[in-house]
Chains A and B, each alone.
Chain A
Amino acid sequence: MNVTENIESQRLSFWEKIYLPEIVKGMALTLKQMFEPKMTRQYPEERFEPTGSYRGRPVLVLDESGERCVACGLCSRVCPAIAIEVQAAETEREKERFPVKFEINMLRCILCGFCEEVCPEEAIVMSKDYEMVFENREDGILGKDKLLVPIAQLQDRLEYLRSHQYYEH
């Protein structure tokens, strides 16, 4: 028979069996812990500043010539949470397509970053904004007015994306 015994009385040495030295060791450890520096961040006062690799709320890039988005709808197609809705329209300008409606439902968004990855124009990127609080469900659906962010604020993320991209756009 292949029976292995693993009885506490056999596993432990004499000093372990009388508990007390081990208890003293454990208590000494926790006493030492009490004087270690604290890990807590006092949130509203001390804010967390993310680096470029942070995936916060997705936003639309607004550069010098206006919004970059050409309303191809790839982000909407790839979104696993079906959070993005795009309606395209046309203008007389050289870059003729633009989204007449672009909505991200932040109640559905899972911050996966697929939209950013699939975007051919580098028009939708993840920002550093992590404070996504809404007072009602309607406020959770962000339109273009809340999504468009000047490119100057997104430099960290764009640099990160360029230094980590796997293929040329």
Chain B
Amino acid sequence: MYAPLIEETLIAAIKVVILLFGVVLPGASACVYFERKISAWIQQRIGPNRVGPLGLLQPIADVVKLLLKEDIVPAAADKKFHFLAPLISITIAVAVFAVIPFGNYVLIGNTYTYLSIAPHLNVSVLYVLALTSIGVYGITLAGWSSNNKYSLLGGLRSASQMISYELSMGLSLIGVLMIGGSLNLNELVIAQSGLKWNVFYQPLGFLIFMIASYAETNRSPFDLPEAEPELVGGYHTEYSGMKFGIFFLAEYANMIAASAMMVTFFFGGWQVPFLPEILGLHDGDLLLGLLQLGAFTAKVAVFLFIFIWVRWSLPRFRYDQLMNLGWKVLLPLALLNIAVTGTVMFFLK
């Protein structure tokens, strides 16, 4: 049996800390800031500009406000599960980051340091899909344990939405897996080297995956679980203070994870087009590692921008439209995509 060395465990622990405090928290606060800024720009406003230069300290002010607020637990709520629900949400949201390859590897001395926590996990695609489905438990549990009919409806909607879109999401990835020939995210990225990005081979798969991702992260136009006009606040109606803040954080962490997945599966992950050949860099160079990290971050940022842009452009789907789209459109299209990809691959070989 493979027993990890102490050094390896230590390096993994350091990576986890860097990930939490260097990626998830700053990423989420940047998302909050840009969510407010971009929504303001779209509505011809200026947005937050009072707290710090250009309003950059606004996310900190938001968090301080949430921390200082009274944490109200409804008398009729199931206290244990009410407490557990946000924890499940955030844990799942953060756990997805373990397999995301932020870059290939960097050779420091004689050790290969991969820019990912679990680079060798050979079922990382399944791991991601499994975790995103568990994520809904946090929301459903929050809705149920609040003992509030609106919260419950929000939780139920989240669960049904998840079931409707999970299938298409998984099926849309099969084409990518067939081309890449692996379930390991890093190897999938390596297979896309030389601008052979999957989005050029799998445009339909990308579209389905993107739509399903929006539904999975409960973002507009699929934000039915927290539809304000109908359900007050949806599953987080009865949450206040930092518990609400954690749901908020989990939503943004999910957004970042979903963007990272879209980049990894369809846009070449950490691949930097052309530049390494021009500069004459080799695998393992520190500069190349940093370039890959930068390219990955830039690509993810573009998708985060699209997430926010879509939210402030499109109206929310009606419930029956949501179900129609999930079952009658996306699912057959995903199956068609697999069939076409398989046929083409069979005849090209």
Contact = CB atoms under 8 A, between A and B. Distances in A.
Interface stretch (A36-44, A70-78, A161-169): A36-44
A33 B313 CA distance: 10
Nearest to B306: A27
A26 B314 contact: yes
A30 B313 contact: yes
Contacts of B43: 33
B44 A33 contact: yes
A43 to B, nearest CB: 11
A40 B313 contact: no
Interface string A27-66: 1011101101111101000000000000000000000000
A20 to B, nearest CB: 8
A25 B303 CA distance: 19
Interface in B22-39: 38
B83 interface: no
B42 interface: yes
Contacts of A40: 44-46
Nearest to A25: B313
Interface in B310-342: 310, 312-314
B112 interface: no
A34 B41 contact: yes
Interface string A1-43: 0000000000000000000000100110111011011111010
B312 A30 contact: yes
Contacts of B44: 33, 36-40
Interface string B139-158: 00000000000000000000
Contacts of B42: 30, 33-34
Nearest to A37: B44
A27 B309 contact: yes
Nearest to B221: A23
A39 B314 CA distance: 22
A56 to B, nearest CB: 26
A33 B43 CA distance: 7
Interface string B116-142: 000000000000000000000000000
B314 A38 contact: no
Contacts of B312: 30
Contacts of A27: 309-310, 313-314
A27 B311 CA distance: 10
Contacts of A39: 44-45
A42 B49 CA distance: 10
Interface of A: 23, 26-27, 29-31, 33-34, 36-40, 42
Interface of B: 38, 41-46, 309-310, 312-314
19 contacts: A23-B313, A26-B313, A26-B314, A27-B309, A27-B313, A29-B313, A30-B313, A33-B41, A33-B42, A34-B38, A34-B41, A34-B42, A36-B44, A38-B41, A38-B45, A38-B46, A40-B44, A40-B45, A42-B46
